[in-house]
């Protein structure tokens, strides 16, 4: 299941890598979340979208990655799919990608989900920093249960679609970012387990440039209070009280975030210790975003629409 919005060149590489190793009986679901141009008119992408194993679902306007994933999950439920694998459009899958996830589900039948490793394809100094900040929970390491406060990203991640997963497997569509954090809160509240495995390991093409990397990190800080506190609808008094208590502890918050991030990297690659100060600075910037997102919760949310305005959003499916 691959949600996308524009970015057809990267999507072409992603879909090609999956289709090359797709086993018989599997389907590749691509969800167009309101791209500005028609993906079926792209000369390189169009032949892939006509593949008999590919299902294309389309939103009438951009609704966000959470809504796109929910659209894909709804199709899976309706069509009797037993296992779903989530992959981002800016990733490339290895050979036997699908088979690797299925093998781990067979080995860990009590686990609701399986998260695989991610290799950031870094191009330059700032791109490597993006790797450090984004994929610390996905460093190739021994198989293990993923425990709080860590959570895997929503790429290279698979779930069993059985009766017990119908409750927790729903993304919060109001969130611009942080839908993965909210999802794993629901999974843990339901008492379910997600395991990490070093294989299959995908490749993600990381961001380039100082401003791009830090802008992405700031956006992630915006959802911290509403998601971590389960407080999307908290009163202004509760939000102000949190900000007044949080500001004096912002340096400690940055230090804790740096430790949680770098401890996993340094176990794997000790040569990355020079990035510790930069990661700390990034978390200080995230602390500013936490305050921003708490006082102005709309900064982390998509605008709400009434049912009449959403009438044109009914998802269309085409093989």
Q: E strands of 127-249, at which residues? A: 144-145, 157-160, 194-205
Does the structure show a pLDDT above 50 at 307?
no
Residue 44, both tokens: 């390189």
Asked if residue 182 is part of any domain, the answer here is no
C-alpha–C-alpha distance, residues 175 and 223, integer Å? 8
pLDDT tens sequence across 193-221? 999 999 999 999 998 888 888 889 899 89
Per-residue pLDDT tens over the stretch 144-159: 999 988 999 999 999 9
What's the rounded Cα separation, in Å, for the pair 85 and 134? 20
pLDDT at 208: 85
For residue 171, being part of any structural domain is answered with no
Contacts of the segment 98-101: beta carbons below 8 A, 24+ positions apart = 98/18, 98/21, 98/22, 98/23, 98/26, 99/21, 99/23, 100/197, 100/199, 100/200, 101/158, 101/200
> Is residue 47 in a domain?
no
Sign of CA dihedral 42, 48, 51, 54: negative
- Tell me which residue of 220, 228, 211 sits closest to 289, measured CA to CA: 220
CA distance 11 to 29: 12
307 or 266, which is more confident?
266
Which structure tokens are listed for 285? 């910037």
**If you count them, how many residues does the chain have?**
319
Q: pLDDT for 76-92, tens place per residue?
A: 999 999 999 999 999 99
Residue 269, domain member (yes or no): yes
Mean pLDDT computed over 9-21: 96
282 part of a folded domain: yes
The whole-angstrom separation of Cα 36 and Cα 62 is 9
> What gap in Å lies between CA 233 and CA 239, rounded to an integer?
10
**Cβ count within 10 A of residue 102:** 17
What are the structure tokens assigned to 270, written together? 């000790």
Q: How many domains does the chain have?
A: 1
76 in a structural domain: no
From the number of C-beta atoms within 10 Å of its C-beta (0-12, 13-18, 19+), residue 220 rates as: buried
Q: Report whether 299 contacts 232 (CB < 8 A).
A: no
Note down the domain range covering 237: 209-302
Helix axes 125-134, 210-222, angle to 10 degrees: 20
So what's the pLDDT on residue 218? 92
Q: What pLDDT, on the 0 to 100 scale, is given for residue 149? A: 87
User: How far apart are the C-alpha atoms of 319 and 315, rounded to whole Å?
Assistant: 13
Q: Does residue 304 have a pLDDT over 70?
A: no
Q: What percent of the chain has pLDDT over 90?
A: 71
pLDDT at 209: 85
**Inter-CA distances, 231 with 125, 154, 164, 228, Å:** 36, 22, 25, 8
Mean pLDDT on 160-169: 91
Residue 184: inside a domain, yes or no? no
Q: How far apart are CA 227 and CA 225, in angstroms?
A: 6
Cross-strand bridge partners of residue 85: 158
3 state DSSP class of 314: coil
Instruction: List, in sequence order, every residue forming a beta bridge with 117; answer none if it has no partner.
Output: 201
- Residues in Cβ contact with 44 at an 8 Å cutoff, skipping those fewer than 6 apart: 8, 9, 12
Domain membership of residue 162 (yes or no) is no
How far is Cα of residue 224 from the mean position of the Cα atoms in its chain? 15
When mean pLDDT is compared across 43-47, 173-177, 229-233, the lowest value belongs to 229-233
């Amino acid at each position: 299941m691959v949600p996308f919005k524009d970015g057809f060149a990267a999507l072409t590489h992603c879909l090609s890598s999956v289709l090359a190793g797709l086993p018989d009986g599997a389907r590749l679901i691509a969800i167009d979340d309101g791209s500005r141009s028609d993906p079926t008119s792209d000369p390189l992408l169009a032949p892939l979208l006509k593949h008999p194993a590919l299902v294309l679902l389309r939103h009438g306007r951009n609704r966000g990655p959470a809504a796109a994933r929910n659209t894909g999950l709804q199709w899976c439920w309706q069509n009797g799919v037993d296992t779903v694998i989530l992959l981002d459009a800016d990733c490339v899958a290895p050979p036997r990608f699908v088979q690797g996830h299925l093998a781990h589900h067979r080995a860990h039948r009590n686990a609701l989900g399986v998260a695989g490793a991610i290799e950031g394809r870094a191009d330059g100094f700032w791109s490597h920093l993006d790797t450090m900040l984004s994929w610390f929970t996905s460093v190739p390491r021994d198989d293990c249960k993923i425990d709080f406060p860590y959570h895997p990203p929503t790429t290279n991640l698979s779930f069993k679609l059985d009766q017990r997963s119908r409750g927790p497997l729903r993304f919060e569509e109001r969130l611009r970012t942080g839908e993965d954090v909210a999802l794993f809160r629901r999974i843990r509240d339901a008492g379910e387990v997600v395991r990490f495995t070093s294989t299959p390991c995908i490749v993600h093409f990381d961001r380039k440039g100082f401003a791009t990397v830090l802008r992405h990190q700031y956006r992630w800080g915006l959802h911290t209070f509403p998601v971590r506190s389960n407080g999307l609808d908290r009163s202004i008094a509760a939000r102000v009280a949190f900000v007044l208590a949080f500001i004096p502890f912002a340096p400690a918050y940055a230090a804790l975030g740096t430790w949680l991030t770098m401890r996993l990297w340094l176990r794997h690659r000790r040569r990355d210790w020079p990035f510790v100060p930069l990661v700390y600075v990034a978390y200080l910037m995230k602390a500013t975003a936490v305050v921003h997102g708490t006082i102005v919760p709309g900064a982390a949310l998509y605008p709400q629409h009434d049912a009449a305005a959403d009438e044109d959003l009914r998802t269309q499916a085409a093989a």
